[in-house]
């Protein structure tokens, strides 16, 4: 009887361990080697996956976005124009999350950065707010002029970045944006995804 109970406990422990490892599938960022959660189901490590973590993905996209002979400021110009029509980059790096949970919508960030470098950032913030109102009036889910979402802070971050930080003669746009986002006091970039809730 004792032996049966012992066997039962061993099996129960194994099942529990199995259930825990079934919770997430991981991959390894091919740039920095950090573990990345791929799905909330499945098991263990997917060795065939060759993607990047959100931080490296954002850096890679923006560093690679420059057209021939374009400096970072000209790239921001072009990506800002494109961002006003839709998100021009890969889905998985649109929403960038910082360590304390702050969310940056890179579409808003780039659209405001483009305005911020030509004018001053107060104007960019006002324009961002007008876009908010227009979205809210037309019933779009993300527009919330009374606050409570990340669009306004993304606009502000983009406008201030372009106005104060962006260096046309500096390094790649991706390096500059990542350095700037991580200097805001919200911690490092902990991930990026195609939707606000991190899926
Ligand atoms: Zn990485």
Strand 25-28, strand 35-39: pairing: antiparallel
Ligand 1 centroid distance, CA of 36 (Å) = 8
Name 73's Cβ contacts closer than 8 Å, sequence gap at least 6. Answer: 117, 166, 168
Which 3 state secondary structure label does DSSP give 165?
Answer: helix
Residue 192 CA to ligand 1 center (angstroms) comes to 11
Distance between CA atoms of residues 91 and 153, nearest Å: 20
Q: What is the pLDDT of residue 119?
A: 63
Cα gap 127→110, rounded to integer Å: 13
Closest among 184, 168, 4, 12 to 96, alpha carbons compared: 184
The predicted pLDDT at position 6 comes to 54
Sequence spans of domains, the chain? 19-51, 53-193
Spacing, Cα 145 to ligand 1 middle (Å): 34
How close is the Cα of 77 to the center of ligand 1, in Å? 27
Nearest-angstrom CA–CA distance, 63 and 57:
10
pLDDT value of residue 21: 47
Ligand 1 centroid–CA 33 distance in Å is: 6
pTM summary value: 0.76
Q: Both tokens of residue 53?
A: 């973590």
Q: What stretches in the chain show pLDDT beneath 50? A: 1, 11, 15, 18-21, 145-146
Q: Exposure string (b/e) for 160-170, b if CB count within 10 Å is 16 or more?
A: bbbbeebeeee
pLDDT of residue 75: 95
pLDDT recorded at residue 11: 46
| Number of residues that make up the chain | 199
N-to-C CA span, the chain? 48
Report the separation in Å between the CA atom of 102 and the middle of ligand 1, taken as the mean of its atom positions.
Answer: 19
Cα separation of 27 and 34, whole Å? 8
Residue-level pLDDT at 142: 55
């Amino acid at each position: 009887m004792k032996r049966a109970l012992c066997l039962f406990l061993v099996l129960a422990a194994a099942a529990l361990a199995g259930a825990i490892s079934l919770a997430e599938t991981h991959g390894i960022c091919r740039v920095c080697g950090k573990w990345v959660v791929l799905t909330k189901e499945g098991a263990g490590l997917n060795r065939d996956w060759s993607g990047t973590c959100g931080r490296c993905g954002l850096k890679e996209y923006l560093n690679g976005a420059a057209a021939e002979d374009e400096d970072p400021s000209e790239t921001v110009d072009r990506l800002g124009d494109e961002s006003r029509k839709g998100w021009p980059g890969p889905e998985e790096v649109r929403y960038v999350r910082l360590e304390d949970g702050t969310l940056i919508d890179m579409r808003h960030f780039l659209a405001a950065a483009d305005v911020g470098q030509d004018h001053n950032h107060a104007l960019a913030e006002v324009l961002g707010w007008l876009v908010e109102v227009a979205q809210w009036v037309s019933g779009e889910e993300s527009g919330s002029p009374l606050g409570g979402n990340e669009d306004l802070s993304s606009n502000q971050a983009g406008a201030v970045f372009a106005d104060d930080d962006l260096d046309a003669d500096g390094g790649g746009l991706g390096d500059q944006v990542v350095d700037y986002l991580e200097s805001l006091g919200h911690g490092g970039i902990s991930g990026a995804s195609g939707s606000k809730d991190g899926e």
